[in-house]
A and B are shown apart, each in its own frame.
Chain A
Amino acid sequence: MKINEPFVEKILTAFIREELSKFNYKKGILGISGGLDSAVCASLAAKALKPSNVIGLIMPYGESFSEDVKDAQEFSRLLKIRSRTINISPMVDAYFSSYPTKNKILKGNKIARERMSILYDFSAREKALILGTSNKTELLLGYGTIHGDMACGINPLGDLYKNQIRQLAEYLGIPEEIRKKVPSAGLWVGQTDEEEIGLSYDEIDKILHQLVDKRTPKKDIIASGFKKETVEKIIRLIKNSEFKRKLPPIPKISSRSVGHDFLFPFDWDK
């Protein structure tokens, strides 16, 4: 799973540059959390475009993540990109004061979608294309909020596993305090990815790499030393999240239908 970092950097920066130019954007915008994935994406964007053409939105909910906010702000300054900090507590709290809940997931999803909504608003204000920060591990497991953090214009990191992002981060010189952080969606205090999924990224990535990239049969993965329950859990997570990776099904009733046989490329005439 080892990647050649300079080669991957060249590909991803070329991708960002080329996609923006195809769709007539000069600027890219992304949410910066103070974590690893958004730092890597911002760093690639700053290299691909001019740093002044990259906008980082830092969108804390309340005061609980002040450390992350500080890291995100410092990192933005380091990259010399434009950044803006927007506290989303008033919008989120306004909603939950009318429809209260104790369910952390509901609240987390709302927070993720509030950030999405602000990103799209600023995307239009600034005419900046939204750069996604979902990695391959998250996309396959469905560890993300549909129409929340998964929403974007292009997703430069979508074919890199978490541990490959770590490799790239070190090569890109992302500061150690960001690289050494325990991965977290940051939707509530104490949340960590690995605890919530119930597995470590190292283990998940090794299994996903076998299942997806190598097309290794489940029984052979188990025989190679992984626990049956772990492999089965990962397969279940992949299956149950397919809806997050697709457009919604449309009942086909006409002779030519969106999503069925109206087939045009994304980069049509670009």
Chain B
Amino acid sequence: MKIALAQISPHLGNVKKNVDMHLKYIEKAKKKNVDLLIFPELSLTGYTLKDLVAEVALSPDSDPFFDELKTASRDVSLVFGFVEEKERGLFYNSAAFLSEGKILHIHRKVFLPTYGMFEEGKFFALGKNFHTFSTPYGKAGMMICRDFLNYGACYLLFAGGSEVIIVISAAPGRGIQDKEAYETSRMWESMGETISLFSTAFLIYCNRVGFEDGKHFSGGSFIYDPMGKMVAKASYLDNEFLLQEINLDDIREVRKKWPYKRDDRPEIILEALKRIIGKYED
């Protein structure tokens, strides 16, 4: 299958402009016979929204912008980020997987960073699940940015049977050093390598670029194969349309050699977790 990552810089707070930008990339993807096109976190809205959250929120079932993207997904499957008004007045930082004109899944960000330069917990409601779902390209799971830095979240997608793990991100670079990369880029890449290798699954990470209020989103989108090998990587600084062919049969091949999935024991993990939680003090 052919995957494309759109490492873009969305317009902050302008859904219309961003939908148009998405449609342009969709046209480009169609011309290249892409099966799955992935955009970054909050790609329809931009990241530093603050009090704009309510203004840019969409209801997937009734929103005309969403209908446009659903229609576009008849030709190419889409993953993108948006602000979801799931119930009146409850706003989520969400990722949608659209295919064949339908919504296959919406993931709502669970780990909302709220410290230092981050304030998502002030503006978003908390998602509560990591779900693996069927797609035309095998079973998939989604995470949003900080979700991916929690290995419990990654485990849930592994235990759920995800063969393709998709992470969409709006990660600002932090820490200049004597290298052509921010210090923080390493943490995404080491997670990418580790999770793909030990989940024996494809790991796709789509980050954004550009500046918002001085925050510099540090690109570096990548794809790891189920052997933990990086097969595609975008630049840290520039807009990019990254194309990569992947072969889902690689999952079968590597699992013959490394049977981590076969040997997983979620019931033991669950019981052990219950015992840990049971010991919490009030």
Chain A positions within 8 Å of B, measured between CB atoms, are: 2-4, 6-8, 10-11, 14-15, 18-19, 262-270
Contacts and interface: CB of A to CB of B under 8 A. Distances in A.
Interface in B174-223: 176-181, 210-214, 216
B161 interface: no
B212 A265 contact: yes
B213 A267 contact: yes
Given A18-B210, A268-B12, A270-B12, A262 B178 contact: no
B259 to A, nearest CB: 42
Contacts of A263: 50-51
A7 B211 contact: no
Nearest to B235: A10
B181 A267 contact: no
B48 interface: yes
Given A3-B176, A265-B212, A14 B237 contact: yes
Nearest to B119: A263
5 contacts: A3-B178, A4-B177, A11-B237, A268-B12, A269-B11
A11 B216 contact: yes
B103 interface: no
B52 A4 contact: no
Contacts of B178: 2-4
B52 A268 contact: yes
Q: How large is the interface on B (under 10, 10 to 19, 20 to 34, 35 or more residues)?
A: 20 to 34
Given A18-B210, A265-B49, A270-B11, A4 B179 contact: yes
Contacts, number: 57
Interface in B67-126: none
B236 to A, nearest CB: 8
Given A11-B237, A15-B211, A19-B211, A4 B176 contact: yes
A268 B56 CA distance: 12
B91 to A, nearest CB: 14
Nearest to A18: B211
B141 interface: no
A7 B51 contact: no
Contacts of A11: 216, 237
Contacts of B51: 262-264
A10 B216 contact: no
A188 to B, nearest CB: 33
A154 to B, nearest CB: 8
A263 B210 CA distance: 21
A22 to B, nearest CB: 8
A262 B51 CA distance: 7
A8 B179 CA distance: 10
B190 to A, nearest CB: 20
Contacts of A3: 176-178
A267 B212 contact: yes
Given A7-B179, A264-B50, 10 more contacts: A3-B176, A3-B177, A4-B178, A4-B179, A7-B180, A265-B12, A267-B12, A267-B48, A268-B12, A270-B12
